[in-house]
Structures are given as structure tokens and as C-alpha cells.
Amino acid sequence: MPELPEVETTVAGLRTVINGQIIKRAEPRRADLRWPMPPDLRQRLTGARVVSLGRRAKYGLIYTDRDDVLIFHLGMSGRWRVDPATIEKHDHFILETEQGRVAALNDPRRFGSLDIMPLARLDAYKAFLSMGPEPLSDDFDIAALQTAIAGRAAPIKAMLLNQNIVAGLGNIYVCEALHMAGIAPSRAAGGISRAKLVLLVEAIKAVLQSAIEAGGSTLRDFAAPDGELGYFAKQWLVYGREGEPCSCGALVKRRVDSGRSTFYCGQCQR
């Protein structure tokens, strides 16, 4: 599933194509993805000008001069394709600008979503209501993390994947950040020392920033809108590296927690 860096990369790619442009065509090519698309999507977008793009957690945001926000989630296999030579079977939503630029939302498995909300009500969007702070923002600091996990016996990895604790983190980057901070994924969150949590906050920010600079991590379907693959996978320290040597010389281990693979080093992470 595309995580925060992949969505940030996607938004950056779309920004170069549609920001400031008037939408000539907004075409849903089916009625639904994971959920039904709003029936007035075409009407609210056609003729509107895109004034900015942004991101909240794993959601991309496209703002228009009609004070509407198009909200997209890439699901498991979604990606935007820019100026495609042909429209493909799984291009389920098309935006075309008056300049003739085209952005097609391609989602073979249809686990993604498209929605539209008035800007004034964006904070009340159902997916955003209880979300935690953005991990790259100043709101996510040692105090915020300590408060969120105080007294919690759940594993720290599970806490970091909880979008109510911190928004936008996924399996890849949690595994990598925990390794960088030297914390075992199974450690009870509430029992981790303040010093270790300081390292963890720093590691989360560093891993995400490095991943964004590398264009994210390409797993199966993900690519940036221009087709460029993400290269952060080449920098993975533990994720996807079961049985390979960690930098300390021990072998990277893997176990399955709640259906997700957890990669870690039993020697570096305590």
C-alpha cells in the first residue's frame, strides 16, 4: 500500500501538471472504487481551477477555486498517470485541463477512493476526525508521542500504525524507524524510556524525509505520476531483508503480526 512518502511523491507529480489549471473534463469511468464516487463529482470539478495540492496522512488533496477539495486515496494499487498515451482499462477517473494535460487515476484492485468536500468542512471529513498529528510537522514531537502512548501495554509498532496516534505511517517506514531507533517492535509502548522515544521521533522524521527525497518505495504497482519508480527500497535496512545481514552482522528476522510482516534485528533492537 502506498504510504505517506508515496502519496507525497504523487502530490508533487500532480502539482506540476494540474496546479493553476482549469479542469475541462472530470470523468468518472465507473460509479465506484472502494466506495461509490460522489454523483456530483463531474459537476463540481468541471470548469473549476486547481489552486493548490496537499496531503493529509495517506490522502492526497486537490483544492479548487470553488472552495471544494478533491480527496483521493490510492488504496493498495492505485497511482495517477500523467498524459498517458492511451486510456487503460483500470484508469477509473480522468482529469483533463484546458491546456490539454491529462491525469488518470489507475487502480486495478479498486481499494482506493475519491471524494469531494467543501473546504470549510474538510476537518470534519470522516477519515480525518480522529487522526493524530502529521509526523513531519512540529506537532509530532516527544511530548505528543509520550502523551499518546503513556501507560499503553500494546507493542510500539502497533501504536505507530494506529492513525489516531500519528497520521500516515505504514508498515515499511515503521519497521525502518524502529530499527534506526534501536527499539524492538514488540516492546510495550508505555515502557519505553524517554531517551529512546526521542530517538524514535527523530528516526521517524528522518526515514520519511529520506523516502520522500528518493521518490518513495516502489512495491509492485507504485510509481510516480510521470512513471518514475521510487528508489527508497534500495536504502531499506530491515524491511524485506529477512535472512540478510544487518549492519551489526546479525541476520534480519521476520515475523507476522496481525497479517503484516515485521522485519527487525534481534541484536540491534531491544
Q: Which residues are catalytic?
A: 2-3, 58, 260
**What gap in Å lies between CA 258 and CA 96, rounded to an integer?**
41
Helix (H, G, I), strand (E, B) or coil at 157: helix
For the chain, the straight-line distance linking the first and the last C-alpha, in angstroms and rounded, comes to 28
Residue pair 116/45 in contact (Cβ under 8 Å)? The answer is yes
∠ CA 259-260-265, rounded to 5°:
135
| Torsion angles phi and psi, residue 57, rounded to 5 | 55, -120
Kindly compute the dihedral angle of the four CA atoms of residues 233, 128, 72, 1, in this order, to the nearest 10 degrees: 30
Q: CB count, 10 Å around CB of 86? A: 6
